[in-house]
Structure 1
Amino acid sequence: MSSAKIGLLSLTALVFSSMVGSGVFSLPQNMAAVANGSALLIAWLITGVGILFLAFSLLYLSRQYPELDGGIYNYARAGFGELIGFCSAWGYWLCTTIGIVGYVVIVFSSLGTFVDTKEHVIFGDGNTLYALIGSSVFVWLVHWLVSRGIKEAAVVNLIATIAKIAPMVVFIACSLVAFKLDVFKLNLNDFSLKMPLWEQVKDLMLITLWVFTGIEGAVVLSSRARNRHDIGKATVFGVLLALAFYVMVTVLSYGVTSRAEIAGMHNPSMATLLTQLIGLPGTIVITVGLMISVASSYLSWTLFATEIPFLAAKNGAFPAMFLKTNANNVPISSLWLTSIVVQAALIGVYFFNKNYTWLLMISSVMILLPYLLVSAFYLKESGKNKQPKHILIALVATIYAVWLLYAADLSLLWDSVQLYMVGLMIFIYSYVKHKKRLTADDQSFT
């Protein structure tokens, strides 16, 4: 049952699945809208190096500090204290929660490709009444599945991960056949955006970060792992596999048609591109793949979002109610919190007419602080222990995290600050209650 541990294959699938969700299917259009081919290659080089060094940071931290379950929260707490640890947990929980809202929104936006007409918009951008009803049903189905047990949900995710790789392989194969070097060269030197190259690279940073959010998945579920050494392996394997898919999907797209045409495509743009290459089957293959992909990614991120409040509650950073587990050993109060917030956010998306891109950006910004704190903790500990190799890895990962903060949009950063301020009130309440409870326990003991 749910007390069973998660093996290397399932852990790797969780990492890969949490990263490769809806983002990859819209990645060609998202990138073409802000950058030419030269900026694209530079951005992938920076992101590839930065994200791999972050993955190695997580790998070594999971081995050097096996007692720190949950990683994202406990690394920040161990390195910088209770308040900073809470901020990391809060930011990460919001990132995952907002992110899974975005997953559901794009699924119904994709369904609109088949059923919407100019006269009758049913699903639109995933923010219509019909989309709200459909997404709400999906949210509570996943809630039920996760409540049955973490191990069981991870197995379902593994099967879905295998299924979602197939459409990406089809897209890459067809793009390779259709690839034209002269088209790629034109996109490489496309100056029509009239923006400096470095600005284009900067604009790509949050997009590339978004598609790698989830790199920490195996670390977050470290207490559920069958073998502690599998945590780091799953992280690196998942990142390498995802990086290969992302680079091939985007670079090959720039060799199929012009950047401007890709930029104007309806998302999921992979479906539009594949339809140009093989007709209607292209739309069907990518849309079905997207729905499978999003379902498994939604499941992965729900697992992560459920685990973090539970771990933080153990130290009083979240209210004690989140310590409650059900008969299947699932942090049920934490799961209810996540599902209710997702449901409320979907209602907000409907009433405020927000779309997938806005959710993507907010989610990406909320993860910046947790990633910076992980890298900084690793750098701090490596410096203390005078380990040159680890200092180098941690330094590169930290520089990458700081660079992401610099590249982020100021308005989005301000939105994230306000969300962190809301969390601060929760921390003060929870921590005071926790201290009172510890004092009462000490007095009763004496």
Structure 2
Amino acid sequence: MSHADTGVETSGGGNPPAAKLTLLTLTAMVVGSMVGAGVFSLPRRFAQETGVAGALIAWAVAGVGMLMLAFVFQTLAVRRPDLDAGVYAYAKAGFGEYLGFFSAFGYWASACVGNVTYWVLIMSTVGAVAPALGDGDTALAVVLSLAGLWCFFLLIRRGVKEAAAINRIVTVAKIVPILFFVVLALFYFEPSVFADNFGGADYAGSLFDQVRGTMLATVFVFLGVEGASVYSRHAERREDVGRATVLGFLSVFSVFASVTIVSYGIMPMGEIAELRQPSMAGVLEAAVGTWGQVFVSVGLIVSVLGAYLAWTLMAAEVLFVAAKDKDMPRFLGRSSGDDVPVPALLMTTALSQVFLVVTAFSDNAFNFALDLTSALTLIPFLLAAAFALKIALRPGAEGTAGHGTRRELVVAAVATLYTAFLLYAAGLKFVLVSFIVYAPATFLFVKARREQGRRPFSPAEALICAVSVAGAALGVVALALGWIEL
């Protein structure tokens, strides 16, 4: 694996210099991270919650909120160019080591759960012609998914730059069938069906409840908007991080909203809500016949494998940089001669394997994994947005470069309110399940502190730890007594 001879940032500790990525490749990583399993599931997820009116409002809210988050990552990339690994680094700089650790772990864990959705959806797709795979949650489906996990581990082990190049090619390959779906759906669009779906169905509650019900789905499909920021240590030019973030977001937003809205002009929403995942395949089949389902299914498999590649890369990167900053145990900070953080990659694959097995026992494996992924990501996103707000309110503080503007303040405030609303929309169930995931991770934090000869917690950190443990305990009790169900 080759690296530039000059101007290359080293990762310290005798590790090789970081591979450098161009604006085009960074943008492809953002798009590749966001365009994965979620877009193929959008018709059913939205039809289960709302009609056209609610969908338009939901996309407007999600579009503005996520655009503000994209601007937050763009601003922070310029104002704090010293911080690598994006989401995690911003939380640590703004609110201390322990919340920074939680952000790193939560973001990493969400990526691992997100990886599970990819394999569930692949198996569910193939399950349409191979009943033994069911909806992606049968024993055979789990075994095949586990085999896929470890095959990708071996691929990424070959080198970061090679994997990123593959992702760029796959990104182009997977956008084509999605755009083709939108064009075909417009051609077969029936205005009368669209009008009947406008106000929602009998099972959809108030308009507010309808919009709220779509929020976790929109969070899931936009996960990856921070992809260039997470991979910032590999950027050829620092300003490319922000540009790639906004370019990637705007491209993907237009595609996601189009997929959802045109579907309402093909079938009654009650029928869309009953489709098996990937529901995009069922919608196109209703429009053009069986070949439409096959076309979307093939596109889905290419898309999902590409997204899995990008997310596994980013998840390992977060653990690696956290370990280099001494917020994770030092063994996670090791990398190979090809700039691959092998221990972090191994741990990422192992946790994905655990979640894959657990998810198989849920009532709806795909929806559960999707919602849990979104919920785990919300705290890291909220802390990043709050850090941007903190910088905007205190220009020149926090070691920032340049001067704050009123625009930065408005953007950070809206992004913070949006992510706080998302936590509310997630509901108590997923907040408690998130605590169950977060709390045990503290052992890694304590191990890292002991390696440095430091006491495990400051008084404030001990309080945060107590809250997380209490939340986890309540979550376990709630699961045991059936108050909440997977």
Scaled by the length of structure 1, the TM-score of the pair is: 0.94
Q: Select the residue among 95, 98, 101 that pairs with 1:83.
A: 98
Which of 253, 261, 276 aligns to 2:286? It is 276
Within-5 A mapping of 1:43-442: 43-116=58-131, 122-350=132-360, 355-385=365-395, 387-436=405-454
Let me know the Cα RMSD of the aligned residues. Answer: 1.5
Q: Retained in 2: the 8 A contact 1:127–1:353?
A: no
Report the CA distance shift for 1:308/1:176 in structure 2 as closer, same or farther (over 3 A). same
Q: Give the letter for the 2:182 counterpart.
A: I
SS in 2 for 1:44: helix
Q: Secondary structure at the match of 2:36?
A: coil
Q: Deviations over 1:156-189 (max 9, x none)?
A: 0011110001111111111111112222121112
Query: Is 1:2–1:148's contact at 8 Å kept on the other side of the alignment?
Result: no
User: 2:412 & 2:52 partners in 1: Cα distance?
Assistant: 30
In the alignment, the residues of structure 2 paired with residue 256 and residue 352 of structure 1 have an alpha-carbon distance, to the nearest angstrom, of 31
Q: Which residue of 2 aligns with 1:6?
A: 21
Residue pair 2:389, 2:413 contacting (<8 A) in 1 also? yes
Cα separation, 2, equivalents of 1:360 and 1:171: 23
Partner of residue 119, structure 1: none
Task: Using the TM superposition, name which of 236-245 and 380-389 deviates more.
Answer: 380-389
- Matched-pair contact (CA < 8 Å) for 1:309–1:334: yes
Query: Alignment partner of 1:114: what SS?
Result: coil
Give the drift of 1:79.
Answer: 0.6
TM-superposed deviation, 1:352: 5.9
Counting matched residue pairs gives: 432
Q: CA deviation at 1:9?
A: 1.2
Tell me the distance in 2 between the aligned counterparts of 1:405 and 1:64: 27
Q: Distance in 1 between matches of 2:357 and 2:385?
A: 36
Distance 1:418 1:258, change over 3 A: same
Aligned CA distance change for structure 1 residues 110 and 191 (closer, same or farther; 3 Å): closer
Determine if contact 2:170/2:302 at 8 Å carries over to the other structure: yes
- Asked if the contact 2:359–2:369 (Cα under 8 Å) also holds between the matched residues in 1, the reply is no
Q: Is the 8 A contact 2:266 2:286 kept in 1?
A: no
- Rounded to whole Å, the distance in 2 between the matches of 1:408 and 1:346 is 21
Q: 1:75 to 1:194 in 2, by over 3 A?
A: closer
Once the two structures are superposed, what CA deviation does each residue of 1:375-411 show, in whole Å capped at 9, x if it has no partner?
A: 1000100110152111011111111111111111211
The residue that corresponds to 1:36 in the other structure is 51
SS class of match (1:69): coil
SS at match of 1:188: coil
Q: 1:387 to 1:285 in 2, by over 3 A?
A: same
The answer to whether the 8 A contact 1:2-1:152 is kept is no
Q: Could you give the per-residue CA deviations for residues 320-377 of structure 1, whole angstroms, max 9, x where no partner exists?
A: 1101111211111101101112223223334667611111111100000010011100
More helix by share: 1
Give the % identical residues: 40
* Aligned-pair CA distance for 1:255: 1.2
Native 8 Å contact 2:324 2:330 kept in 1 = yes
Deviation sequence 1:22-62 (CA, Å, 0-9, x none): 11111100110011211111100000000001101100110
Q: Is the 8 A contact 1:127 1:350 kept in 2?
A: yes
Write the distance in 1 (CA, Å) between the matches of 2:366 and 2:310.
Answer: 19
Paired amino acid for 1:316: K
Alpha carbons of structure 1 residues 129 and 2: separation in structure 2 relative to 1, 3 Å? farther
Matched residue, 1:442: none
Task: Say which structure, 1 or 2, has more relative contact order (CA 8 Å, 6+ apart).
Answer: 1
Quote the offset at 1:191 in angstroms.
4.3
Counterparts of 1:163 and 1:248, CA distance in 2: 19
Counterparts in 2 of 1:153 and 1:235: CA distance versus 1, 3 Å? same
- With over 3 angstroms needed to count, the CA separation of the structure-2 counterparts of 1:309 and 1:194, relative to structure 1, is closer
For structure 2, the 5+ residue unaligned runs are 4-18, 396-403, 456-486
Q: Contact 1:8–1:230 at 8 Å: present in 2 too?
A: yes
CA distance in 1, matches of 2:355, 2:213: 26
Using the alignment, how far apart are the partners of 1:170 and 1:377 within structure 2?
40
Given that 2:201 and 2:270 are in contact with CA atoms closer than 8 Å, whether structure 1 keeps it comes out as: no
| Distance in 2 between residues matched to 1:302 and 1:351, nearest whole Å | 23
Counterpart of 2:129 in 1: which secondary structure? helix
